[in-house]
Amino acid sequence: WKNYLGWLSYTWSKANQRYAQLNQGRDFPAEDDRRHQLKWINTLSFGRFYFNWSLIYASGKPYLDYRMLRISSIERNRIDLNRSTRYLEPYRRVDVGLSYKQPWRKSQFTASVSIYNLFDQTNVKYNQFIYGVTDSGFKDNFSESYVAGQTITLLPFTPSISLKWQY
């Protein structure tokens, strides 16, 4: 075990927000509400070589799915945000890397090769929606309105090479 260094961390959290003008004054999940996060970081050394790998898991963040809203008036207080809140898929990532450290005089050179998101897991940062209403304004008929949106993703499979000189 003398060549191994690692740590495991777990975080549980809950973040709500409340505004008198929204959701009938009741709590609803905040944008950064991420209930579970688990990180396992590892390094194994063999002489001047260092192999590292990390596993990261985080439960999905909430977002307001405008497609679920049924707006019949402009009164924001009457909208039930809890019914329209959905959660993104969990965030999953595996990273690996190999480094070589070479001392030289009173300095050190390090050459590294890494791969972030080894399995090319699609991790969604957020869903962005825009709710629109036709020229006829708000109606009881939901077909008179529309939703446009896009999904923003995070780091795909990413190889990396680095050289570092510490002096």
Q: Could you read off the pLDDT of 103-131 as tens digits, one per residue?
A: 999 999 999 999 999 999 999 988 777 76
Instruction: Give the Cα separation of 75 and 73 in Å (integer).
Output: 5
Q: Could you read off the pLDDT of 12-44 as tens digits, one per residue?
A: 999 999 988 777 788 888 888 889 999 999 999
Confidence of residue 137 (pLDDT cuts 50, 70, 90): low
Q: What is the pTM for the complete model shown? A: 0.76
Order of all β-strands in the sheet with 49-58: 4-12, 36-46, 49-58, 91-104, 107-116, 158-166
Q: Which residue has the tokens 């090319």?
A: 120
Beta strands in 48-157 (DSSP E): 49-58, 62-64, 85-87, 91-104, 107-116, 124-133, 145-153
The more confidently predicted of residues 61 and 73 is 61
